[in-house]
Each structure stands twice: as C-alpha cells, then as structure tokens.
Amino acid sequence: DIQMTQSPSSLSASVGDRVTITCRASQGIRNDLGWYQQKPGKAPKRLIYAASSLQTGVPSRFSGSGSGTEFTLTISSLQPEDFATYYCLQHNSYPLTFGGGTKVAIK
C-alpha cells in the first residue's frame, strides 16, 4: 500500500495568512493526487485534482503543486470559510489511500 504522510496534523492561523499543507507519498505517484476540504458534519469536497488543477467553482486562493512523492496545498490568503480539515488522496494505485488530515483552526 502507498502511505500518505500529511503534515502538519493541525495548525492555527489568522484570516489573511498564507497556509501550506504537505503530503508525502511512500513511493512515486506521478501527479495522481487530489486535495479535499471537509467541514464538520459535511462530506469532503474536492478542491484540487491531478495535483495542481483547480476544481471548477473553487476559489483561486487554493493551489496545489508537486509530483512524484511530495505535494503541497497552499491557501494564499486564509478566509473565515476556509477553517476546516484538509485531506490528500492518492489514486495512483490500489488501495486508494488518504493522508491523515490537517485541521486548520482559527488563531
């Protein structure tokens, strides 16, 4: 199985801050990675696919980068509605595996 190590597991930030979350794959997965946002009591919502492509309707302050084993999700200017938990998901090989999640809280 491909292990996805996500860091940090939690962070606190202020509105307007730049936030970066990292996912590291235990082996190369090309760009077969997506980023998801989950708010309490809600289903995850895809923000980024193919490592760096923005899902339709997602604000441009979200961006993704990386390839191979190292990936990042960046929120350029944190907004109040961005406080949530973020997960990465690799779909390069089965079983599909998620990162452990990063909870973004208000400082």
Partner 1 sequence: QLQLQESGPGLVRPSETLSLTCSVSGGSISSSNYHWGWIRQPPGKGLEWIGRIYYSGSPYYNPSLKSRVTISVDTSKNQFSLNLSSVTAADTAVYYCARGAAGFDPWGQGTLVTVSS
Instruction: Name which of residues 56 to 85 contact partner 1 (CB under 8 A).
Output: none
CB-wise, 19 or 36, nearer to partner 1? Answer: 36
Q: Does 15 bind partner 1 (CB under 8 A)?
A: no
Distance, CA of 104 to CA of 107 (rounded, Å): 9
Q: Which residue in the set 14, 43, 60, 81 belongs to the binding site for partner 1 (CB under 8 A)?
A: 43
Q: Does 16 bind partner 1 (CB under 8 A)?
A: no
CB-wise, 10 or 77, nearer to partner 1? Answer: 10
Task: Map residue 26 onto helix, strand or coil.
Answer: coil
Q: Which residues of 74-86 are buried (b: 16+ CB within 10 A; e: fewer)?
A: bbeebeeebbbbb
